[in-house]
Amino acid sequence: MRTVRSTAIVGIVLGSDSDLPIMKSAAELLDEWNVPYELTVASAHRTPHRAIQYAATAKQRGLQILIAAAGGAAHLPGVMAALTPLPVIGVPIKTSKLDGLDSLLSIAQMPDGIPVATVAINSAKNAALLACRILGIFQPRIASKMEKYRAHLKKSVESKAKRLDLEGYKKYLKRLS
């Protein structure tokens, strides 16, 4: 499987390859749903020109949504949003210092004019799901995946509830651990 594809409609950009263990959940979901995407590393600080170029050419290369992940003074999502008219989803990565509060504020608190669609700290999966909600507006196939996914979420909770009811919480907990 190649991660950068000419047919990609979602571009996932990591500020650092150390974000990959977190961000792989986004890739996995897009893989599973057959949403063509590409995944690369481009730091707003260490490779600004690469990040700039990536964002500035994203639309003409056929991308429809960007997902950008970064931690600390997390500028990647905002800088990309400044250089593309596409929607940019920002994933604040938890750092070892301020618990991700710095990442969250650096991504969410964008000034008027340039929005970033911020998801929860480390929530790579929600970034992919948000991308799919967006794509689902005009791609019935993805909208239908989303309906199935939501039904699956529901069933999963319901079957847990049923099991918890049958077993009682003590047995349930023992099985969990």
Burial of 25 (0-12, 13-18, 19+ CB in 10 A): middle
Q: Give the shortest CB-142-to-a second copy separation in angstroms.
A: 10
Site for a second copy in 84-113 (CB under 8 A): 85-89, 94-102, 104-113
Residue 161 in contact with a second copy, rule: CB under 8 A = yes
**12 φ, ψ to 5°?**
-100, 125
Q: Give the shortest CB-34-to-a second copy separation in angstroms.
A: 16
Among 39, 67, 68, 69, binds a second copy (CB under 8 A): 39
| CB 64, CB 135: distance < 8 Å | yes
Number of residues located near a second copy, criterion CB under 8 A: 101
Site string for a second copy, 113-152 (x = CB under 8 A): xxxxxxxxxxx-xxx-xx--xx-xxx----x--xx--x--
| CB 148, CB 140: distance < 8 Å | no
Q: Which two tokens stand for residue 16?
A: 């650092």
Residue 83 in contact with a second copy, rule: CB under 8 A = yes
**Residue 103 CB contacts under 8 Å (≥ 6 apart), including other chains:** 70, 71, 72, 74, 92, 93, 94, 95, 121
Residue 36 in contact with a second copy, rule: CB under 8 A = no
Among 6, 34, 60, 168, binds a second copy (CB under 8 A): 168
Strands (E), 74-176: 88-93, 117-118
Site for a second copy in 4-23 (CB under 8 A): 4, 15-17, 20-21
Residue 44 in contact with a second copy, rule: CB under 8 A = yes
By beta-carbon proximity to a second copy, the closer residue of 35 and 100 is 100
Q: Which helix (H) or strand (E) holds 36?
A: none
